[in-house]
Structure 1
Amino acid sequence: MPDRPEIVCICGSVRFADEMRAANRDLTLAGVIVLAPGVLGGGGPDGDESITAEQKAALGALHLRKIDLAGRVLVVNPGGYIGESTSREIAYARAAGKPVWFSDPT
């Protein structure tokens, strides 16, 4: 029986949607199961403007469950940027004992 693939959860600001998509692609091609934000929108600096506050809260809670499933977390943070939501996700992952890696460790 083959080894089970690693599971990685991608976290980061939706302003880095292109970079998260690239990380998802690279990891997937490397044989990793990738869990990523389900909505990487386009509307404004916070993503898809059609998302309500309630939906945003539900998506945030869902993303924490993705962290639960992952073996490690990759934070996509070009220029070292980490916003409020991503900071919460990092704290959650660390409290759960998940290794946290950064695309830009500055």
Structure 2
Amino acid sequence: MSFPHPFTPEAKLAEAKKRLNLPRIVVICGSTRFMTEMTEADLRETGAGRIVVKPAFDTRSPHGPRSGPGGADALKARLAALHRAKIRLADEVLVVGDHIGDSTRAEITYARSLGKPVRFTHPEVDPGA
């Protein structure tokens, strides 16, 4: 007797979100130099009925998290892993800002490798266009 293949974790998550009747989840990506624009995008997306996740703080800010000597790279790696988890959770990605750096480019590539739709506030910076 043949049994159907179990759902992938991604398929299980999508099914759970559907059963819970959750609105679309949008993750905001971009350079933290665009934190003000990210907040504005958060307001627009929330107003459109979407759940929004985004970076919580600018690590360059004096109010951001601090680490001891040599800890900056570890902190950056932890935050990058956390943001990749946000991308996996989301239904789509919104890239904010008129500049795409290496980290944001990697996030776009990762999101597209997962089949996530990617939108841009400035479509002309889309590295895949």
Shorter-chain TM-score bucket reads 0.7 to 0.9
What are the residue-to-residue correspondences of 1:3-42 with 2, within 5 Å? 3-41=21-59
Partner AA of 2:120 in structure 1 = F
TM-score normalised by structure 1 residue count: 0.85
| Aligned counterpart, 1:92 | 110
User: Take 2:53 and 2:92, find their aligned partners in 1: how far apart are those partners?
Assistant: 10
Q: CA RMSD in A?
A: 2.3
| Larger RCO (CA under 8 A, 6+ residues apart) | 1
Quote how far apart the aligned CAs of 1:77 are: 2.0
Percent identity for Structure 1 against Structure 2: 46
Quick check: 1:72 aligned with 2:92? Answer: yes
User: Take 1:43 and 1:5, find their aligned partners in 2: how far apart are those partners?
Assistant: 32
Quote how far apart the aligned CAs of 1:41 are: 4.7
Structure 1 residue ranges without an equivalent (≥5)? none
Partner AA of 1:72 in structure 2 = E
Partner AA of 1:76 in structure 2 = V
SS class of match (2:57): coil
- 2:82 corresponds to which of 62, 68, 76: 62
The structure that is strand-richer by fraction is: 1
